Amino acid sequence: MLTTELSEAQVSALRANKDRLAKDLHHSCQWGSGIRWGDGSSDTGMQRLALSDDDKKVRDWFIETTKALGCNVTVDQMGNIFAVRPGRRKDVPATFIGSHLDTQPTGGRYDGILGVLSGIETLKAMDEMGLETEGGVGVVNWTNEEGARFPISMIASGVWAEHIPLEKAHGLKEVPTVASLPTASSAPETMKSALEKINYLGTTPCSYKETPMAAHFELHIEQGPHLVSSGQRAGVVTAVQAYRWYHVNVIGRDTHTGTTAFEHRADALYAFSRMMVRAREVASSHGCLASVGIVETKPGSVNTVPGEVSFTLDIRGPKDELVAVVEAALKKDFDAIAADEGKGIGKPCRVEWTLDFDSPLVQFHPDCIDCVQRSAEAVAADSGSSEPKSLVREMMSGAGHDSVFTSKRVPTSMIFVPCKDGLSHHPEEFCSADDCATGTSIILQAVVRYDRKRFSA
């Protein structure tokens, strides 16, 4: 059967296999399973840093599984893996389902993993019903989406979109904060050396020109509380909020804790503390977020007032202008706080900002949004609700995803499903088997609808 020959009702009836999906997902989590939080076999978090030995194992499994489903597999120079189930037409790019198999150091089983597994389940469901597409259907595993080991998130989709130079990505070193984890070696690896070490440095140039896509769909847990607290089943993601990442250094003066009165200190850590308190106030007043994930003190001794503090700052907001306003306000306020600390000795602290990453507001493609919207409403009808449309909401993503970069080159959109307590980047991150299947059914239909949209005209 060919997608373009299906009736609308037949498309709306397409469903993923919940049990098979859950089995495959937890099977894939045997590699890199993390902190245990319950008694069940799958009650653990994940600790699968990009390009670790565990990441290699799940990658090997991904390739073996997709090849068994008849896919052609390509690995590019960033270790991105593209598995394509051929369509009837050989001269057109495939429609892709993509996400990532790497996790945070104390992450969960759904962030990224569900997206890739929904792609595999889509292929299995199509195979099972003998469904042929006009264009091919691909599944892509993007490398190091988290940015937890190599500190630029979505770096490999960024190289593919030609927004990040390959050389910069290859030269990026793993961060010291994870160097003590068993997955990292003692001397810092670069992305290139880490790719070589696990044999995933492919020969295909990493570019949308070499591995083109017709579109990119991504299923993800919401990582926030909106769907779960409203009892809704799916989010049609129309945009991704703007965000910027910085490194901020505060330079004060090392001095003895026991002999230096407060008024004689230029305590970089005390200044940092005031800055962090202030950052929440300012961001909050503009409907934005400001967060510090990493802070490092020097020289790092119990009885020495820290003379230098370096911290990461992550500012997010629903508009590019709001992020800029918060940044400007904090630059002013941090300077004032620094000037205040150390003024007693005429040697106030000072502040240095470095912008590491700038991700402006992303608007997804109307064609993809439309396919997701119709698919979500069709699947929501399973609930028996008299108002299935009410179980679906349009929303903005708070987090960045590989879809941010694919959207710069090809039509893209995303689907969100609820996760428990809105929690993610935590071992107890949880999405029920029902919600995983709902999202996967939506992505299955969306890919079919997109294929029909491309070739029915």
Region binding a copy of itself by CB under 8 A among candidate stretches 8-16, 53-61, 101-109, 382-390: 101-109
- C-alpha to C-alpha distance for 142 and 121, rounded to whole angstroms: 18
> Would you count residue 299 as binding a copy of itself (CB under 8 A)?
yes
- The nearer residue to a copy of itself, 229 or 363, going by C-beta atoms, is 229
> Would you count residue 421 as binding a copy of itself (CB under 8 A)?
yes
Binding-site member from 56, 197, 274, 319 for a copy of itself (CB under 8 A): 274
For the purposes of burial, counting CB atoms within 10 Å of the CB of 457, is it exposed (0-12), middle (13-18) or buried (19 or more)?
exposed
> Would you count residue 364 as binding a copy of itself (CB under 8 A)?
no
φ/ψ of residue 302, rounded to 5: -55, -40
Q: Which two tokens stand for residue 335?
A: 């300077």
Binding-site member from 92, 295, 329, 433 for a copy of itself (CB under 8 A): 295
> Would you count residue 66 as binding a copy of itself (CB under 8 A)?
no
> Are 45 and 34 a contacting pair, CB within 8 Å?
yes
> Would you count residue 245 as binding a copy of itself (CB under 8 A)?
yes
> Would you count residue 143 as binding a copy of itself (CB under 8 A)?
no
- The nearer residue to a copy of itself, 118 or 241, going by C-beta atoms, is 241
Q: How far is the CB of 387 from a copy of itself (least distance, A)?
A: 27
Binding-site member from 2, 292, 324, 339 for a copy of itself (CB under 8 A): 292
> Would you count residue 304 as binding a copy of itself (CB under 8 A)?
yes
Query: Per the omega criterion (within 30 degrees of 0), is the bond before 299 cis?
Result: yes
Give the end-to-end CA distance of the chain in Å, rounded to a whole number.
Answer: 18
> Would you count residue 276 as binding a copy of itself (CB under 8 A)?
yes
- The nearer residue to a copy of itself, 45 or 87, going by C-beta atoms, is 45
Classify 325 as helix, strand or coil.
helix
- Count of residues touching a copy of itself (by CB under 8 A): 76
Can you state the angle between helices 433-455 and 366-380, rounded to 10 degrees?
A: 130
> Would you count residue 366 as binding a copy of itself (CB under 8 A)?
no
Binding-site member from 272, 364, 405, 450 for a copy of itself (CB under 8 A): 272
> Would you count residue 115 as binding a copy of itself (CB under 8 A)?
no
φ/ψ of residue 341, rounded to 5: -95, 105
For the purposes of burial, counting CB atoms within 10 Å of the CB of 32, is it exposed (0-12), middle (13-18) or buried (19 or more)?
buried
- C-alpha to C-alpha distance for 421 and 357, rounded to whole angstroms: 29
Residues of this chain, 175-214, that bind a copy of itself according to CB under 8 A: 175-178, 180, 186
Binding-site member from 41, 284, 354, 456 for a copy of itself (CB under 8 A): 284
Q: How far is the CB of 296 from a copy of itself (least distance, A)?
A: 9
Binding-site member from 68, 277, 328, 355 for a copy of itself (CB under 8 A): 277
Binding-site member from 267, 327, 402, 435 for a copy of itself (CB under 8 A): 267
> Would you count residue 318 as binding a copy of itself (CB under 8 A)?
no
> Would you count residue 355 as binding a copy of itself (CB under 8 A)?
no
Binding-site member from 13, 68, 294, 328 for a copy of itself (CB under 8 A): 294
> Are 140 and 82 a contacting pair, CB within 8 Å?
yes
User: How many other CB atoms are there within 10 angstroms of residue 142's CB atom?
Assistant: 32
Q: How far is the CB of 257 from a copy of itself (least distance, A)?
A: 4
* Rounded alpha-carbon distances, angstroms, from residue 72 to 82, 91, 125, 138: 8, 15, 18, 9
CA atoms within 13 A on the CB side of 355: 11
Can you state the angle between helices 113-128 and 18-28, rounded to 10 degrees?
A: 140
> Would you count residue 424 as binding a copy of itself (CB under 8 A)?
yes
> Would you count residue 254 as binding a copy of itself (CB under 8 A)?
yes
Residues of this chain, 376-405, that bind a copy of itself according to CB under 8 A: 397-400
* Rounded alpha-carbon distances, angstroms, from residue 233 to 377, 416, 424, 447: 10, 9, 18, 19
Binding-site member from 77, 104, 122, 406 for a copy of itself (CB under 8 A): 104
For the purposes of burial, counting CB atoms within 10 Å of the CB of 129, is it exposed (0-12), middle (13-18) or buried (19 or more)?
exposed
